Amino acid sequence: MIVVKSMKKLLLACILCVALVHLASFVTHCEETAKLRVHFRDIHGNKLPKEAIRRLHCRDLSDEPCPARTYVHDGYATIVLPNKPVQVCALVKLSDFGEVTIYADGHGKGYSRPGDIDFIEEAAATRLIRVENAVKQAECEGVHLTREFKEKLAQSKKAPPYKSLALTLAAGEELALARARHRINKMGTHREGFYFGCNSFGHPARGPEYDRRFKEIFNFGIAHLYLSHYAPAERVRNFDRTDLEVEWLHSMGMGIKLCPPFYLASSVTPEWLKNKGYSQVRRAAHELVKEVCARYAGRVQFCEIVNEAHDYSNSLRLKPEELTNLAKVCSRAAREGDPNVQRIINCCHLWGEYAAKPAKLGPPKRSPYAYLRDCIKYGVEFEIIGLQMYYPEYDLFEIDRLLDRYAKLGKPIHITEMGCSSAPGIDPNGQRKKASAGWHGDWTEDMQADWVEAIYTLCYSKPYIKAICWWDLADAVSFWPYGGLLRADCSPKPAYIRLKALLEKWGFVGS
């Protein structure tokens, strides 16, 4: 009798397993058939080769990256639709504008049903709607829009998709800058307490001309403080370089930031910290951040308590909840070391495209925005959101939208690192070797100057942004390829001259 009952239970279990397998197969089949085919054609109607369809990814309607399987072919891409409406984004080169990331959002409703779309047609419609909505906001703000701008927008409505998109991309940037200049004029140009800064890593090795140029336009400096340098062994400390930079900046009366005492990028994570359990990592983070903040208390106003910890720079392979908890540990440690230090959580890759790739194992990666939101929800105490703005392959209009989105988190913002190239191709002396896609064509010194003037104007106009920092001042050892405001010999590029003129206009440096 017992054997018979056992056999029945085994038979029922087998039937249930088979049913679950068939159900899973059915669900997978349904998911795989819910596909959106996105067609990519050039201006002449020819299929784009798959190599030209770059950085294709999906975002939800709140602009968060949305994991979705994508398959790219010559002339089209297939997207397995997730269970929510999505926008489709891709990096596209337009001969009349440049190479930038553009959006197609289905007239604001997203894409949730299988079908076919033409990406450029959809993107042109999306951009036009977004610019027209921004025009309404600008008019409410009292921004004067020129006749030429209005004619350009009217022309875009009648133009074929590629031309329309180029016109509205240009119009969107013009509109973003018009609104920014209007805000600056209303606030009276000079903003008391605003910081214009740069990392001070070139002092003193780059010589007196570097020091002179640094002091000429900046009132804020970032001192070198990476784990592998100041804590090369668990019980060894070497603060010589940091002490030197802090003393130099302090002697000029500049604002100072420590950057960053606990940063888990593979390039700066010391061997002694690797392969430790999370409880040991927590303890090490607390000790180090507290020690650093106590050492420089009274001389340093800001500290990046964690950097790029949004599932991105994570050489220790910590879990998402551990990374969030680590921010709280570092926050408390910084406050224990210095009761007055302003704590910054710094983020990179601000659109979070990496989080749009479906995870092979474990939970989906978090975007910087989702990470910051989790930190706030978890009760991590910090004063400032730090955002890195290396030329991101998005136009000024989309950068404007992104900044306002981060402002909704309710914290002041520092642009902690910023850069763009002044020449195309490979920089043999740069930490990052190859320049990114050109903004309005291949990078030149004049185009770098244009972007510098535009991005500083945009950021300075935002009341919630309190600091803008370039990274690095001079070529030859810069992080971003050809990214210095000075050439390798410390002679000024047009970008340096243009920025100095802006700061004179805003009352921050003498003419």
pLDDT, tens digit, for every residue of 176-193? 999 999 999 999 878 999
| pLDDT for the residue 32 | 52
| pLDDT for the residue 509 | 82
Asked if pLDDT for residue 15 goes beyond 60, the answer is no
At 455-486, the pLDDT tens digits run 999 999 999 999 999 999 999 989 999 999 99
Please state, for a pLDDT cut of 70, what percent of the chain lies above it.
93
CATH of 33-123, one of 3.30.70, 1.20.120, 2.60.40, 2.60.120: 2.60.40
Q: How far apart are the first and last CA of the chain?
A: 100
Higher pLDDT, 371 or 430: 371
| pLDDT for the residue 24 | 43
Please state, for a pLDDT cut of 90, what percent of the chain lies above it.
87
Asked if pLDDT for residue 294 goes beyond 70, the answer is yes
Tokens of 489: 């010999």
Tokens of 205: 């090795």
Asked if pLDDT for residue 118 goes beyond 90, the answer is yes
Q: Say whether 388 sits in a helix, a strand or coil.
A: strand
119 close to 55: Cβ distance less than 8 angstroms: no
| pLDDT for the residue 477 | 87
Asked if pLDDT for residue 56 goes beyond 80, the answer is yes
Higher pLDDT, 10 or 43: 43
Asked if pLDDT for residue 5 goes beyond 70, the answer is no
| pLDDT for the residue 26 | 42
Asked if pLDDT for residue 21 goes beyond 70, the answer is no
Tokens of 270: 């010391």
| pLDDT for the residue 426 | 92
Q: Say whether 195 sits in a helix, a strand or coil.
A: strand
Backbone angles phi, psi at 283, to 5 degrees: -65, -45
Tokens of 73: 């072919």
449 close to 497: Cβ distance less than 8 angstroms: yes
If you average pLDDT over residues 145-171, what whole number do you get? 95
If you average pLDDT over residues 132-144, what whole number do you get? 96
| pLDDT for the residue 8 | 55
| pLDDT for the residue 362 | 75
Arithmetic mean of pLDDT over the chain = 92
If you average pLDDT over residues 97-101, what whole number do you get? 95
If you average pLDDT over residues 231-238, what whole number do you get? 96
Question: How many other β-carbons are positioned within 10 Å of the β-carbon of residue 25?
Answer: 10
Higher pLDDT, 437 or 462: 462
Which is nearest to 472 in space by CA: 461, 460, 485?
485
Q: Residues for the chain: how many in total?
A: 511
If you average pLDDT over residues 67-84, what whole number do you get? 96
| pLDDT for the residue 18 | 46
Which DSSP string corresponds to 126-180? Answer: HHHHHHHHHHHHHHHHT----HHHHHHHHHHHHS-HHHHHHHHHHHHHHHHHHHH
250 close to 299: Cβ distance less than 8 angstroms: yes
Contacts of residue 206, defined as CB under 8 A and 6 or more positions apart, other chains included, come to 474, 490
CATH topology of domain 192-505: TIM Barrel (3.20.20)
The answer to whether the bond into 204 is cis (omega within 30° of 0) is yes
485 close to 496: Cβ distance less than 8 angstroms: yes
Spatial separation of the C-alpha atoms in residues 227 and 231, rounded to whole Å: 5
Spatial separation of the C-alpha atoms in residues 273 and 237, rounded to whole Å: 14
Q: What is the model's pTM?
A: 0.92
Asked if pLDDT for residue 326 goes beyond 90, the answer is yes
Asked if pLDDT for residue 214 goes beyond 70, the answer is yes
| Type and span of the H or E element at 455 | helix 445-460
318 close to 275: Cβ distance less than 8 angstroms: no
| pLDDT for the residue 361 | 76
If you average pLDDT over residues 41-69, what whole number do you get? 95
Spatial separation of the C-alpha atoms in residues 291 and 338, rounded to whole Å: 9
| pLDDT for the residue 211 | 98
Q: What is the CA radius of gyration of the chain?
A: 25
Spatial separation of the C-alpha atoms in residues 120 and 125, rounded to whole Å: 9
The residue written with tokens 């909840």 in the block is 321
Spatial separation of the C-alpha atoms in residues 167 and 155, rounded to whole Å: 8
